[in-house]
Amino acid sequence: MSISLVDVRSFLATLPDVSVHDTTEDLFFFRGEEQNFPFATIVTHDDPYDALSNLSRPDVFRLNFASDKKTFAMLFPELQTKAALAEARLDYQALDVLFPHPVYGRMRWVSIINPNRVWSQCRELLVSAHKVRELRPNSW
């Protein structure tokens, strides 16, 4: 079974106190009504400042979410410095593979294009992203 953008959105909507900004092509998920900083986004197209994932491919979307230092270190142990992250040769177009966000990886954002095999792990990471935002509302 393939996980769709609608499936991801539906899951995120089940988390407590989530609001969705959906007036653009992309979706932004916030905790609470303030909508200062999202804890997750779904991006459906390339733009001039973020085109590394080639989201112009048919039926492709990229899920992005915040992580804390411990989680980012667990996911990417070899990428713990800004220099290591900048020098890494990452495939930002790979499907169903977690990678540091092409632009915001240095801020410990994680991305995945069309999560399928790792959807259960993504769900856990999204719950954690929601809690990080909940526990540290002014730290972004």
pLDDT in tens, 117-138: 999 999 999 999 999 866 555 5
What domains does the chain contain, in order, with CATH numbers? 5-135 (3.90.1150.30)
Convert 12-33 into a string of H (helix), E (strand) and C (coil): HHCCCCEEEECCCCCEEEEECC
Q: Choose the most confident range, by mean pLDDT, from 22-26, 30-34, 116-120.
A: 116-120
Burial of 46 per CB tally in 10 Å (0-12, 13-18, 19+): middle
Phi, psi for residue 102 in degrees, rounded to 5? -60, -30
Task: Write down the pTM of the prediction.
Answer: 0.93
Average of per-residue pLDDT across 86-94: 96
pLDDT in tens, 33-68: 777 889 999 999 999 999 999 999 999 999 999 999
Least confident of 7-16, 26-35, 79-88: 26-35
Average of per-residue pLDDT across 74-95: 95
How high is the pLDDT of residue 87? 95
Please determine, for residue 95, whether its predicted confidence score (pLDDT) is greater than 80. yes
- Give the model's confidence band at 1: pLDDT under 50 very low, under 70 low, under 90 confident, else very high: low
